Structure 1
Amino acid sequence: MTFSLTVDATKFRGRLVSVMNQYAQAGADLVPVIKGNGYGFGRANLAREASRLGASRIAIGTVWELEQALIDFAGEVVVLEPFNANDQAAKELWQRILLHGAGRVIVTVSDLDLSGVASVGAKLIFLEGKTSLNRFGLTASEISKVSNTNGLTVRGLALHLPISEPAKVIDATAEISKAVNSKKLSGRLLEIWNWIAAYQDLVAKSRYHLHISLSHVSPSDLTELKLMCKNYGYDSTFDIRIGTKLWLGESSSCKVQGSILEIHELSDHQRVGYRQVDGHGHKRLIVVSGGTAHGVALAAPNTSGSMRQRGIAIAEGVSQALGKVRSPFSYKGVNLLFAEPPHMQVSMLWSEDMSLKVGDQLICNVRSTTTNFDLVMGLD
Structure 2
Amino acid sequence: MTIRLTVNRERWWNHVVGVADEVDGLIPVVKGNGYGFGRAGLAIAASKLSPLLAVGTVHEIVGLPDEVTPVVLTPTWRPPDTTEPVLTVGSNDHIAALRGWQGRVIVKLSSGMQRYGGNIDLVAAAQRAGLRTVGVAIHPPLAGTDDDHRQQIVDHLPDIDPSLDVWVSHLFPSTYESLPDSHRYKLRLGTYLWHGDREALHLEADVIDTREVRPGDRAGYHLTEVPGAGTLVMIGAGTANGVAPLSDGRSPFHHRRQRMALLESPHMHTSMGFVPAGDPCPRPGDWVDLQRPLIHTAVDELRWI
> When the two structures are superposed, what TM-score results if normalisation uses the length of structure 2?
0.89
Q: What's the CA shift for 1:78?
A: 0.8
Query: Counterpart of 2:139?
Result: 160
- Give the 3-state SS of the residue equivalent to 2:160 in structure 1: helix
Q: What's the CA shift for 1:283?
A: 2.8
- Give the 3-state SS of the residue equivalent to 2:12 in structure 1: helix
- 236, 240, 244: which one pairs with 2:187? 240
Query: Counterpart of 1:63?
Result: 58
Farther-moved stretch of structure 1 (338-347 vs 348-357): 348-357
Distance 2:187 2:124 in 1: 26
The CA deviation string for residues 182-230 of structure 1, in whole angstroms up to 9 with x for no partner, is xxx9444343233222112xx6xxxxx2311111123233332244x1x
Query: Counterpart of 2:76?
Result: 83
Q: Which residue identity does 1:66 align to in structure 2?
A: I
- 214, 220, 226: which one pairs with 2:168? 214
- Give the 3-state SS of the residue equivalent to 1:19 in structure 2: helix
- Contact 1:48 1:73 (8 Å CA) reproduced: no
Distance 1:255 1:127 in 2: 38
Query: Counterpart of 1:291?
Result: 238
Is residue 45 from structure 1 mapped to residue 24 from structure 2 by the alignment? no
Distance 1:63 1:298 in 2: 32
- Contact 2:126 2:132 (8 Å CA) reproduced: no
Q: Which residue identity does 1:260 align to in structure 2?
A: V
Query: Counterpart of 2:179?
Result: 225
- 98, 108, 117: which one pairs with 1:117? 98
- Give the 3-state SS of the residue equivalent to 1:293 in structure 2: helix
Query: Counterpart of 1:197?
Result: 158
**Percent identity at matched positions?**
28
Query: Counterpart of 1:127?
Result: 107
- Give the 3-state SS of the residue equivalent to 1:366 in structure 2: coil
Q: What's the CA shift for 1:349?
A: 1.1
The CA deviation string for residues 45-71 of structure 1, in whole angstroms up to 9 with x for no partner, is 21121023x311111112222334xx3
- Contact 1:133 1:160 (8 Å CA) reproduced: yes
Query: Counterpart of 1:265?
Result: 212
Q: What's the CA shift for 1:148?
A: 4.3
Q: What's the CA shift for 1:80?
A: 0.8
Change in Cα spacing, 1:298 to 1:77, as seen in structure 2 (3 Å) is farther
Change in Cα spacing, 1:133 to 1:362, as seen in structure 2 (3 Å) is same
Alignment of 1:308-323 (within 5 A): none
Distance 2:126 2:286 in 1: 64
- Contact 1:83 1:110 (8 Å CA) reproduced: no
Distance 1:196 1:221 in 2: 16
The CA deviation string for residues 121-173 of structure 1, in whole angstroms up to 9 with x for no partner, is 34111111112222111213x2474474344321111111122349xxxxxxx
Q: What's the CA shift for 1:72?
A: 4.3
- Contact 1:7 1:255 (8 Å CA) reproduced: yes
- Give the 3-state SS of the residue equivalent to 2:241 in structure 1: coil
- Coordinate RMSD, CA, aligned: 2.4
Query: Counterpart of 2:67?
Result: 74
> Paired residues, what number?
302
Query: Counterpart of 2:263?
Result: 339
Task: Give the gaps of 5 or more residues in structure 1.
Answer: 85-90, 167-184, 204-208, 230-235, 301-312, 317-325
Change in Cα spacing, 1:154 to 1:272, as seen in structure 2 (3 Å) is same
The CA deviation string for residues 37-96 of structure 1, in whole angstroms up to 9 with x for no partner, is 2222211121121023x311111112222334xx34531111111234xxxxxx1xx2xx
Query: Counterpart of 1:274?
Result: 221
Farther-moved stretch of structure 1 (154-163 vs 104-113): 104-113
Distance 2:130 2:18 in 1: 39
> When the two structures are superposed, what TM-score results if normalisation uses the length of structure 1?
0.73
Q: What's the CA shift for 1:356?
A: 2.7
Q: What's the CA shift for 1:238?
A: 1.4
Larger-Rg structure? 1
Query: Counterpart of 2:3?
Result: 3
- Contact 2:126 2:133 (8 Å CA) reproduced: no
Distance 2:13 2:238 in 1: 29
Query: Counterpart of 2:272?
Result: 348
- Contact 1:156 1:213 (8 Å CA) reproduced: yes
Query: Counterpart of 1:178?
Result: none
